[in-house]
């Protein structure tokens, strides 16, 4: 097989020199393409005939990330705290926006009562949002607790 491959490669070189001399010759282009296909076939046959256990394998080892007492990596822990911080700040900002917008809109209608109504509505919204955050945190804590006995077994 190696001899045939070498013969095809030498023919390919000869044809490439002929193309330099006569670039418009389509027969040379076709013959070069045929040689190229034959070389690819030989390469594929040699790859398929070799056993798969001899083929190179790439082993990627995962880096161990430092973990805290809950078993989460530091990066996951930072993400979790940033997520809750974002939830708290977005709840406060949404409440303030509703208060300000509502105060301007309702101030046109009823004066001081508008500010009181908007404040109550925004506080209700903030409490609902905070309750959602606390419930989400409890769910995550329960998932961590539930997964620990499985790891021990």
Q: In this predicted model, what pLDDT tens digit does every residue of 91-130 receive, in sequence order? A: 777 777 777 776 677 666 666 776 777 677 778 777 877 7
Strand partners of residue 73? 67
Q: Is residue 138 part of a domain?
A: yes
Question: Are 78 and 134 members of one domain?
Answer: yes
Question: Are 40 and 86 members of one domain?
Answer: no
Question: Are 23 and 79 members of one domain?
Answer: no
Q: In this predicted model, what pLDDT tens digit does every residue of 53-82 receive, in sequence order? A: 454 555 555 455 555 555 666 777 677 777
Question: Are 42 and 81 members of one domain?
Answer: no
Q: Is 60 helix (H, G, I), strand (E, B) or coil?
A: coil
The model's pTM: 0.32
The structural domain count of the chain equals 2
Domain that holds residue 81: 74-152
In this predicted structure, what is the pLDDT of residue 67? 57
Phi, psi of 22 (to 5 degrees): -135, 85
Q: Comparing 50 with 12, which gets the higher pLDDT?
A: 12
Taking Cα atoms as reference points, which of 69, 43, 23 lies closest to residue 15? 23
């Amino acid at each position: 097989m190696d001899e045939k491959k070498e013969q095809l490669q030498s023919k390919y070189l000869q044809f490439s020199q002929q193309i330099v001399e006569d670039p418009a010759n389509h027969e040379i282009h076709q013959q070069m393409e045929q040689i190229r296909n034959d070389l690819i076939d030989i390469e594929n046959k040699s790859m398929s005939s070799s056993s798969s256990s001899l083929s190179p394998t790439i082993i990627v080892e995962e880096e161990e990330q430092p973990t805290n007492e809950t078993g989460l990596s530091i990066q996951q822990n930072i993400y979790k705290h940033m997520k809750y911080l974002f939830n708290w700040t977005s709840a406060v900002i949404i409440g303030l926006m509703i208060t300000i917008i509502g105060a301007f809109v309702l101030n046109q209608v009823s004066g001081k009562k508008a500010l009181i109504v908007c404040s109550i509505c925004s506080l209700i919204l903030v409490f609902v949002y905070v309750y959602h955050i606390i419930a989400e945190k409890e769910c995550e804590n329960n998932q961590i607790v539930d997964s620990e006995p499985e790891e021990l077994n």
